[in-house]
């Protein structure tokens, strides 16, 4: 109360004050919905607008509700704004993982809130209001709720974004980027996120772009990455990038593997190599058995899985696959050599993922796969050997960059750039950002 009085004194009577409050602290020691409504009533005469969040930024258990993770439906906290609205007359705004203009309209039209506020959605696409206004919602770059913006903030104090490479570099993007002196003939090998982002950026810079993709569709590993129910944001990103490629002046050739011979015949001024990674398939005894399925195949074709599934490898791919298979009705185990699963995952995302893994799978950590048997997986844990029963065994033991293939392609072009997973196996953030900045160099 005293802080608000001090703020009012400092800004004067005509300056609007928006006060962010919690609609529910979601902890036993915090305020519940009723308590938060009491606070709103107490300060109503001191503020002009309420913004209703929830949880607590500093509490890892509820961080993923304050900044809702992909495991929650979009707009999961709107009901809290609606509750505050019942108790006050001043306008009330809601916030939390909103990015669909139709949903925002509905929230306001139904009277749940007076204003919709956006955080990460605007980092991912600062043009959402303009796109909503001009009926271009299908071109909104979706926030993936991956928390890379928080990760980057902790590392470098700059806010970066997985899907918006300009984030954190707006000034140089606006004033410093020089237009190319001449239009070049560019060949891009690989139509995953790296290849598509490079193609879109190069075409916008006026180059003559051909995007060649080995398979029958663009998207690359965005397809398995977006296969789980809770990865709808990645599915949307894939569609948005594909639509942008289709709208741009880009020649797309599908079912076309770029080989050194292809590059030689094509004779590009510039070659982009964006051919992605290969799944690791270690020589574990029994890998050749018919119930062993690679992680990408399992994500894309879950019908191949039997009732009991053992996932070898508890990194991001294995852990999320386990959650996804559980949601599809399978009984899942994860076998991981490290002492915990999902250890390399962004810590903020991990906060949302871990409770889902706990619900979804029995985790055998510090456990080594010895052999795959027809009835399951033989493991060794703390000196003890035993068999984890499984009808299907999913291999999620990592990926590698195909450096020999990459080098052979680069040898055929005077100017070449290597972007995405074939440069260094990583994530969409690296694929999109590397591709954009390499393309801005051409
Ligand atoms: C199951 C799974 C879940 C994932 N989840 C996430 C996640 O939640 N968040 C995240 O950030 N990342 C995730 N990733 C990683 C992310 O998908 C990759 O980092 C990203 O797709 C890499 O993009 P890329 O364009 O470099 O390669 P890719 O997406 O692999 O695309 C490469 C493309 O090149 C094509 N190609 C290959 N060779 C040739 C050739 N010689 N000529 C022409 N075309 C060729 C391929 O067919 C493919 O379409 C996940 C990956 C998987 C497999
Ligand atoms: C990079 C970043 C920094 C943030 N910093 C603050 C902050 O300093 N104070 C605050 O109250 N909220 C902060 N937030 C939270 C947002 O205001 C917002 O409530 C939250 O991200 C949920 O909305 P969203 O899902 O639309 O992002 C931050 C969010 C992001 C992404
Ligand atoms: S980094 Fe990830 S969570 Fe943050 S705004 Fe971008 S897409 Fe959203």
Nearest C-alpha neighbor of 63 from the set 352, 416, 360, 413? 352
**Residues near 401 by beta carbon (within 8 Å), at least 6 away in sequence:** 277, 278, 421, 422, 423, 424, 425
Tell me if 408 is assigned to some domain. yes
Same domain, 254 and 353: no
Same domain, 393 and 405: no
Instruction: Round the average pLDDT of the chain to a whole number and report it.
Output: 96
Identify the pLDDT of residue 256: 98
Pocket test for ligand 3, best of 162, 225, 346, 431 (most atoms within 8 A of CB): 162
Q: Which residue has the tokens 């304050």?
A: 66
The residue from 72, 92, 118 where one domain ends is 118
DSSP 33-56: HHHHHHHHHHHGGG-SEEEEE-S-
The residue from 64, 94, 118 where one domain ends is 118
Same domain, 53 and 76: yes
Same domain, 216 and 80: no
Tell me if 138 is assigned to some domain. no
| pLDDT digit string, tens, across residues 136-192 | 999 999 999 999 998 766 667 788 999 999 998 888 887 766 789 999 999 999 999
Pocket test for ligand 1, best of 276, 279, 353 (most atoms within 8 A of CB): 276
Tell me if 83 is assigned to some domain. yes
Question: Which atom of ligand 1 sits closest to the CA of residue 421?
Answer: 26
Tell me if 169 is assigned to some domain. no
Q: Which two tokens stand for residue 100?
A: 């669909």
Total structural domains in the chain? 3
Task: Answer yes or no: are the C-beta atoms of 274 and 198 closer than 8 Å.
Answer: yes
Is residue 59 over pLDDT 90? no
Q: Is the beta carbon of 409 within 6 A of some atom in ligand 1?
A: no
Q: Is the beta carbon of 68 within 6 A of some atom in ligand 1?
A: no
From the CA of 149, the nearest ligand is: 3
Same domain, 242 and 382: no
Tell me if 153 is assigned to some domain. no
Tell me if 255 is assigned to some domain. yes
Is the predicted ipTM greater than 0.85, yes or no? yes
Sign of the alpha-carbon torsion through 327, 332, 335, 338? positive
Same domain, 394 and 435: no
Residue span of the structural domain in which 68 resides: 2-118
Same domain, 367 and 268: no
List the Cα angle 227/338/432 in 5-degree steps: 40
| pLDDT digit string, tens, across residues 374-422 | 999 999 999 999 999 999 999 999 999 999 999 999 999 999 999 999 9
Same domain, 356 and 297: yes
Calculate how far, in angstroms, residue 270's C-alpha sits from the geometric centre of ligand 2: 40
CATH number of the domain where residue 227 is located:
3.40.50.720
Tell me if 337 is assigned to some domain. yes
| pLDDT digit string, tens, across residues 295-305 | 999 999 999 99
Same domain, 394 and 405: no
* Residue owning the nearest CA to atom 37 of ligand 1: 275
Question: Which atom of ligand 1 sits closest to the CA of residue 212?
Answer: 43
Same domain, 60 and 194: no
User: What are the backbone dihedrals phi and psi of residue 97, each rounded to the nearest 5 degrees, phi first?
Assistant: 50, 40
Calculate how far, in angstroms, residue 90's C-alpha sits from the geometric centre of ligand 3: 31
| pLDDT digit string, tens, across residues 288-327 | 999 999 999 999 999 999 999 999 999 999 999 999 999 9
Calculate how far, in angstroms, residue 159's C-alpha sits from the geometric centre of ligand 3: 9
* Residue owning the nearest CA to atom 11 of ligand 2: 20
Same domain, 297 and 394: yes
Same domain, 302 and 226: no
* Max CA separation in the chain (angstroms): 76
Tell me if 170 is assigned to some domain. no
CATH number of the domain where residue 345 is located:
3.50.50.60
Determine the Cα–Cα distance for residues 312 and 390; give it in Å rounded to an integer: 11
């Amino acid at each position: 109360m005293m802080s608000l009085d001090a703020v009012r004194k400092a800004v004067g009577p005509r300056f609007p004050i928006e006060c962010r409050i919690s609609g529910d602290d979601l902890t036993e020691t915090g305020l519940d919905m009723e308590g938060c409504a009491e606070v709103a009533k107490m300060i109503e005469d001191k503020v002009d607008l309420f913004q209703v969040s929830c949880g607590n930024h500093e509490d890892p258990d509820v961080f993923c509700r304050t900044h809702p993770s992909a495991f929650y439906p979009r707009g999961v906290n709107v009901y809290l704004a609606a509750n505050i609205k019942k108790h006050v007359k001043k306008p009330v705004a809601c916030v939390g993982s909103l990015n669909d203009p139709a949903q925002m309209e509905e929230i306001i039209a139904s009277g749940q809130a007076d204003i919709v506020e956006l955080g990460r959605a605007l980092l991912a696409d600062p043009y959402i209001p303009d796109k909503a206004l001009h009926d271009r919602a299908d071109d909104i770059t979706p926030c993936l709720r991956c928390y890379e913006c928080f990760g980057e903030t902790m590392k470098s104090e700059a806010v970066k974004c997985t899907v918006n490479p300009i984030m954190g570099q707006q000034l140089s993007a606006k004033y410093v980027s020089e237009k190319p002196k001449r239009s070049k003939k560019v060949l891009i090998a690989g139509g995953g996120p790296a290849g598509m982002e490079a193609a879109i950026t190069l075409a916008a810079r006026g180059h003559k772009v051909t995007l060649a993709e080995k398979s029958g569709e663009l998207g690359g590993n965005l397809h398995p990455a977006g296969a789980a129910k809770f990865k709808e944001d990645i599915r949307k990103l894939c569609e948005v990038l594909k639509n942008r490629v289709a709208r741009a002046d880009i020649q797309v050739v599908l079912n076309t593997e770029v080989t050194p011979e292809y590059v030689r015949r094509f004779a590009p001024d510039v070659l982009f190599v964006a051919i992605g990674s290969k799944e690791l398939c270690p020589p574990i005894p029994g890998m050749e058995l018919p119930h062993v399925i690679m992680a990408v195949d399992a994500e894309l074709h879950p019908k191949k899985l039997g009732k009991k599934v053992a996932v070898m490898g508890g990194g991001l791919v294995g852990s999320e696959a386990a959650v996804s298979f559980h949601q599809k009705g399978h009984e899942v185990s994860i076998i991981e050599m490290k002492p915990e699963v999902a250890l390399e995952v962004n810590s903020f995302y991990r906060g949302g993922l871990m409770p889902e893994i706990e619900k979804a799978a029995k985790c055998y950590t510090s456990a080594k796969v010895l052999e795959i048997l027809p009835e399951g997986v033989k493991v060794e844990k703390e000196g003890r050997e035993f068999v984890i029963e499984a009808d299907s065994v999913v291999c999620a033991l990592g990926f590698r960059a195909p450096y020999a293939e990459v080098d052979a392609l680069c040898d055929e072009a005077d100017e070449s750039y290597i972007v995405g997973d074939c440069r260094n196996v990583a994530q969409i953030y690296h694929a999109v950002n590397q591709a954009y900045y390499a393309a801005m160099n051409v």
